[in-house]
Amino acid sequence: MSVEAVHTQCCVVGGGPAGVMLGYLLARSGVQVTILEKHKDFFRDFRGDTVHPSTLELLRELGLLDAFLQVPHQKVTSVAVNLAGESYEMADFQDLHTYCRFALLIPQWDFLNFLTEQGRAFPGFDLRMEHTAEALIESNGRVTGVRSKTPQGETEIRADLVIACDGRHSLIRRCAQLAVKEFGVPIDVLWFRLPRERDTPEQVLGYVNYGKLLVLINRNTYYQAGFIIRKGSFDAIKERGLDALRQALVQIAPFLRDSVDELQDWEQVKLLSVQLNRLERWYRPGLLCIGDAAHAMSPVFGVGINLAIQDAVAAANILARALRSGESTDRLLPLVQRDRELRTRLTQRLQALAHRNFKYIFRPGPLHVSPLVKIILRTRVLQPVLLRVVGAGIVPERIAIPGVRTRPAHLLARRVGALAGATIALGFAYFLLARRRRPA
């Protein structure tokens, strides 16, 4: 079999949100970047569909927002949850101070195809599909490239810097032997499609009742359904049979009565294993990890994609100039971790807090919502935190790559937003630290 040898300034492993955004930004900065993606296209269901105001803000800074809004999508102006048959609005994006006061529901393959198309306008953008990274190339303790397999043979990509964006099962971080801190997760997700009948809910809604939680993402003609189950319970669910699963779905969302008949085979139901973890160190000489490869996110709050994109922006801001001029980036790699770590920790901490409440959700029988919880939800006291974490991002990044100038008014608005975010983040950090210090 032939071995193709390539030299590039930056090799990005993984064409998910982090990898494609990073590739776009680096190529736009004049860097020669090769992105390796193991699949032959982006058409897979289990990628999450939410593009939050923080990401839309970045697209606006890049001058891509108008074109992006031409891609078919649905606007989401608020997030709601249905508890025991009653709906509660959790966050209203109209209250944000961002340019776009809505999130978009857009199949992730459309988002990735859009960014890829934009990236191809730059000569340095080299996206290679069906390239599976299999090993790191190292020399004197420094990562100097990646070996990948393709249908045509093997490829050796030599690079000044390798950036792992290969997601929560990252092979690269394993090859690099970077230490991972695991946080236990009590849930997994069953992921499947159900046809969407007319006059059924359009907004994203979580349904909680009878010890079950179902999230329905509206993709016009069908729902992408995420059924949250206890970690490790899929075999038991399978043993009970598809009919029991169909009944469970109808019990919490009765309007699915006709749609569930479409579920005829376990092949239609994918088990997505949820993880929550973080690398202690995100880098080694010649290598950086970002996105889920550095910190696997839970689906709770639907923020992982946006966090991965913010990582990509931070990495491009810090590294683009040095990469372009051929300087060593090793001394800059810790800055990327420093820039992103606190925000990642806070988001993961919030997700872990939410995980703890699954023990209440999984209690069998009809859900009892206490009057206090109802008051909290009705008065939307959690809205500022949710809006920051879910919508605008905790102190969002802004684009600072060569060739992109942020307008002063826009910059001011972002600075004000960032200040508000920092205040909330610090308040939240204080709250968490205070809880830690309290004796058991």
- The answer for residues whose C-beta is within 8 angstroms of residue 328's C-beta and 6 or more apart is 160, 322
- Closest distance between ligand FAD and the C-beta of residue 46, in Å? 6
- Closest distance between ligand FAD and the C-beta of residue 385, in Å? 17
Contact 368, 84 (CB under 8 A): yes
Closer residue to ligand FAD, CB minimum distance, 106 or 260: 106
Closer residue to ligand FAD, CB minimum distance, 30 or 361: 361
Closer residue to ligand FAD, CB minimum distance, 249 or 305: 305
Rounded-to-integer distance, Cα 91 and Cα 84, Å? 19
Rounded-to-integer distance, Cα 196 and Cα 176, Å? 45
Closer residue to ligand FAD, CB minimum distance, 36 or 76: 36
Rounded-to-integer distance, Cα 16 and Cα 38, Å? 10
**Which residues, listed in sequence order, are joined to residue 5 by a DSSP beta bridge?**
156
Closer residue to ligand FAD, CB minimum distance, 96 or 274: 274
Closer residue to ligand FAD, CB minimum distance, 15 or 145: 15
Rounded-to-integer distance, Cα 61 and Cα 421, Å? 19
- Closest distance between ligand FAD and the C-beta of residue 42, in Å? 7
- Closest distance between ligand FAD and the C-beta of residue 33, in Å? 14
- The 3-state DSSP composition of the chain as helix, strand, coil percent (nearest 5) reads 40, 25, 30
- Closest distance between ligand FAD and the C-beta of residue 23, in Å? 11
- Closest distance between ligand FAD and the C-beta of residue 129, in Å? 9
- Closest distance between ligand FAD and the C-beta of residue 371, in Å? 31
- The answer for residues whose C-beta is within 8 angstroms of residue 70's C-beta and 6 or more apart is none
Strand 50-51 vs strand 187-195: parallel, antiparallel, or unpaired?
A: unpaired
Contact 35, 128 (CB under 8 A): yes
Per CB under 6 A, residues contacting ligand FAD are: 13-19, 36-39, 47-50, 132-133, 165-168, 171, 189, 272, 274, 291-293, 297, 299, 302-306, 308
- Closest distance between ligand FAD and the C-beta of residue 136, in Å? 11
- Side chain identity at residue 117, one-letter code: E
Closer residue to ligand FAD, CB minimum distance, 34 or 329: 34
- The answer for residues whose C-beta is within 8 angstroms of residue 345's C-beta and 6 or more apart is 278
Write 140-149 long-range contacts (CB < 8 A, 24+): 141/285, 142/284, 142/285, 142/286, 143/176, 143/284, 143/285, 143/286, 143/287, 144/286, 145/11, 146/11, 146/13, 146/36, 146/172, 148/36
- Side chain identity at residue 169, one-letter code: H
Closer residue to ligand FAD, CB minimum distance, 318 or 321: 318
- Closest distance between ligand FAD and the C-beta of residue 157, in Å? 11
Closer residue to ligand FAD, CB minimum distance, 17 or 396: 17
* Burial of 271: CB neighbours in 10 Å, binned 0-12, 13-18, 19+: middle
